[in-house]
Amino acid sequence: MSAQKKQADSEIRQAIDRENPSTVAAFEGFDGRAVFAIAVAFSAFQIWTAAFNPVSTMVVRAVHVGFLLLMTFTLFGFRQTAERRRVPWYDWLLGLTAFGVGLYHYVFEVDLIQRAGDPNTTDLIVGTIAVALVFEAARRIMGLALPIMCGVFIPYALFGRHLPFGLAHRGYDIDQVIDNLYLSTEGIYGTPTFVSASYIFLFILFGAFLERAGMIKLFNDVSLGLVGHAKGGPAKVAVISSGLMGTINGSGVANVLTTGQFTIPLMMRFGYRPAFAGAVEATASMGGQLMPPVMGAAAFIMAETIGVPYSEVAIAAAIPAILYFGSAFWMVHLEAGMRNLVGLPKDQCPSALRAVVEGWYLIMPLAALVYLLFSGFTPLFAGVIGIAATAALILGTAIVGKIGPMALRVAFWVAVGLVAAGLWKLGFRTEHLAFTMVVLLIIPCLMFKGGRETLTLVVNSIADGAKNAVGVGVACALVGVLIGMMTLTGLASSFASTIVDWSGGNLLAALVLTMIACIVLGTGLPTTANYIITASIAAPALLTMGVPLMVSHMFVFYFGIMADLTPPVALAALAASSICKADHMKIGWIATRVAMAGYVVPFMAVYDPALVLQTGDWLAVAYVFVKACLAIALWGAATIGFFWTSLPLVARAYAALTAFLFVVALPLTDEAAFVMTGMFLLWQHRRRSMPTAAAVS
């Protein structure tokens, strides 16, 4: 293997690790069993505290971070490029030390409360070790960018009184800094860690259960059945299946590596360029973080930060998510039209209806989760019930598979329902009832081979969920350092004032500056950390300039995600390149065109908040939705160079200008854009009717 190939593989592996650490290592022997057991224990702890709430929130956060650090030091080596076949003794030492530090709040909880604000020497030593271990864990997972960015705020807090250029503040002693970072809910145990421990982990675990149970196959079969035979069908399958995956998995790069293994080769086999195939999958997979009901981890943090139910964030994201995937679908349709790409033969496409009939039980937990989220229940409750329902269905399905007649199968489920009803009447809480039913279903599964195999699947899902939560959780803990120091020093308000000053009070200039900041930060940070930082710094500036709270946070959320598609880093494109074997920079530039809705819709939402449903006027919502659809359609034509027929350069420029006028959102520009759109459609209709044009197209 050449040095360049080894370097490329190393970069791809690092990109994958940030989103899906369960792919990092598959240890064997004692190390393998130990890491697996730790992962299962981590998930068990999270489920136990979520369902039974036996300890205080501070203890939950501290032990959560302790587990995260223990898993990080066992999964990731000191050097990112080193082969990881076993866990060295010093990593076990670091991991167990980190876990012990996490238990400090549990063991000395009463003492810490009594001396709150006045830490003793032991508190400061343990706190210093904890903060240092969080930095090292983040460095192992994400490299140096995020630790350096967060680390500079500690000396800023310590030596603030000596700083020039208007950055000076009163300054803080080391004991105040450690107290803020380790002994309060403002530092590494702040809001991001609270959300990671309460919501994010459960939803990652929920997705791991469904993936292991066969949800990926179900989504692929449904997508193939719906659009596989259409013009450019393989690429449309990629868009739909990745969009469906986004309903259970908020990890973009992980989606590339799951659905992409199927869709990218399929697209290439039916005539799509390798780079375009990779770009389509990268674009669609990154959209999973925008797709309700289970969006990316940053969406849960957004809900907690701005103090609204998660369902409101999901509702606000619904139309932009539809536009994003509609844009990707439209782009592949135009590419197929320009290149005369056909779909799969009808007889090679599975039946979407049959796939749903056979996999209906996998849809039920997702439907229950959506119902709970949008009925006013907390994400914590919805996640607990979703996990329990999924486990119960998987186990119950294994049991009924051994029952012959349909009548007996129905009777089994009726009996399960009656037992649940009986426990409910006895006064069981809903969460306790759900997991009691899971335990009751485990017992018969232990008695036959297929049942034991199903139990193995469940346990593996539990371990996968814990491993996949490591990257996001460590990022949340580390970014807490930045938030804690900015809160302590008052720096956040200074940053907001600076952005307003640099923009000269011009909203468009402030939006562009914020967009650039999000994309630049995204070159070295995962999506969650990117959102937390920009939401702390830039969103307050937009709020000062009159942008509604939800819209300002949604703006930075979107561009934090788009950073993973934007070169030069373009992590999603890097992951796709490992499958399609095309240059990842080329994939990234194509992906930015395919995903143009992700760059345009946030600006449209700022100028017309109806796009994110921040109004009760449904006529206004319909109007802005139509405008956005037309803008995306025209931008797609300008990008691909094809609409109903091929477009010359002048026509592409005309289409791009018309799309831009829709985005500006002034009455005069809207009227001009509608007239120009009508003229464009009329010209395309007449050109399509011409025999020569038809031959060209």
Nearest partner of 76 among 147, 137, 12, judged by Cα: 137
The pLDDT score that the predictor gives to residue 23 is: 45
CB contact at 8 A, 484 and 190: yes
CB 349 within 8 A of CB 418: no
Contacts of 542 (CB under 8 A, 6+ apart): 510, 511, 514, 551, 552, 555, 606
Calpha distance 244→321 (Å, rounded):
12
How is residue 308 written in tokens?
């609204």
Cα angle 249, 254, 259; round to 5: 85
Burial 40-54 (b: 16+ CB within 10 A, else e): bebbebbbebbbeee
* For helices 406-425 and 430-445, angle between their N-to-C axes, nearest 10 degrees: 140
Q: For residue 293, is the peptide bond before it cis, meaning its omega torsion is within 30 degrees of 0? A: yes
Contact 631, 605 (CB under 8 A): no
Would you state the structure tokens that stand for residue 28, as one six-digit string?
């064997």
Contact 17, 76 (CB under 8 A): yes
Residues whose CB falls within 8 Å of the CB of residue 601, separated by 6 or more in sequence, listed in order: 320, 323, 324, 558, 611, 628
Distance CA 255, CA 633 (A): 26
Chunk the chain into consecutive blocks of 10 residues (it has 697) and report each block's average pLDDT, rounded to whole numbers.
48 48 59 89 91 86 94 84 73 93 90 85 91 92 82 85 71 86 87 85 84 79 80 78 70 70 79 83 80 76 83 86 85 82 75 82 81 81 86 84 76 81 78 84 83 86 87 85 82 70 77 80 69 78 81 84 73 77 81 78 83 81 87 86 87 89 78 90 85 48
Alpha-carbon distance of 268 to 273, in angstroms, equals 6
Helix axes 571-580, 584-594, angle to 10 degrees: 120
CA–CA separation, 566 vs 589, rounded Å? 7
> Tell me, what's the pLDDT at 265?
84
Separation of alpha carbons 454 and 391, rounded Å: 10
> Do residues 15 and 574 lie in contact, with contact meaning Cβ atoms separated by under 8 Å?
yes
Task: Give the domain ranges of the chain.
Answer: 14-190, 193-462, 619-687
How far, in Å, are 243, 523, 544, 603 from residue 598 at the CA level? 14, 17, 24, 10
Residue entry with tokens 């025209």? 634
pLDDT at 15: 46
Cβ distance 225 to 352 under 8 Å?
yes
Q: Which two tokens stand for residue 210?
A: 């469904």
* 106 vs 127: CA distance, rounded Å: 14
Between CA 79 and CA 162 the distance in angstroms is: 36
Cβ atoms 246, 233 nearer than 8 A: no
The 10 Å Cβ neighbour count of residue 641 is 16
| Chain length of the chain | 697
Written as six digits, the tokens of 307 are 């103090």
Considering all CA atoms of the chain, what is the largest pairwise distance in Å, rounded to the nearest integer?
86
Span 214-246, pLDDT tens digits: 777 788 888 888 887 777 777 788 788 777 776
CA distance 170 to 474: 30
Q: Say how many C-beta atoms besides its own lie within 10 A of residue 370's C-beta.
A: 18
Q: How confident is the model at residue 493, as a pLDDT?
A: 66
Structure tokens at 641: 């160079």
Q: How far is the C-alpha of 477 from the C-alpha of 65, rounded, in Å? A: 7
Grouping H, G, I as helix, E, B as strand and the rest as coil, residue 296 is coil
Q: Are 53 and 432 in contact (CB under 8 A)?
A: no
Compute φ and ψ for 646, nearest 5 degrees.
Answer: -65, 150
Comparing CA positions, the residue from 191, 203, 244 lying closest to residue 222 is 244
Give dist(CA 277, CA 8) in Å, integer.
19
- Determine how many CB atoms are found less than 10 A away from the CB of residue 503: 19
At 20 the pLDDT is 52
Give the whole-angstrom CA distance, residue 628 versus residue 631: 5
Tally the C-alpha atoms within 13 A of residue 526's C-alpha that lie toward its C-beta.
34
Nearest to 307 by CA among 199, 191, 201, 203: 191
What pLDDT shows up at residue 312? 86
CA distance 135 to 151: 8
Structure token digits, residue 181: 């970072």
- Cβ distance 479 to 529 under 8 Å? yes
Return the axis-axis angle of helices 57-75 and 470-489, rounded to nearest 10°. Answer: 120
What is the C-alpha to C-alpha distance for residues 543 and 551, in angstroms, rounded to an integer?
Answer: 9
Q: Which residues pair with 646 in a beta bridge?
A: 642
Q: Which of 359, 366, 342 is nearest to 227 (CA)?
A: 342
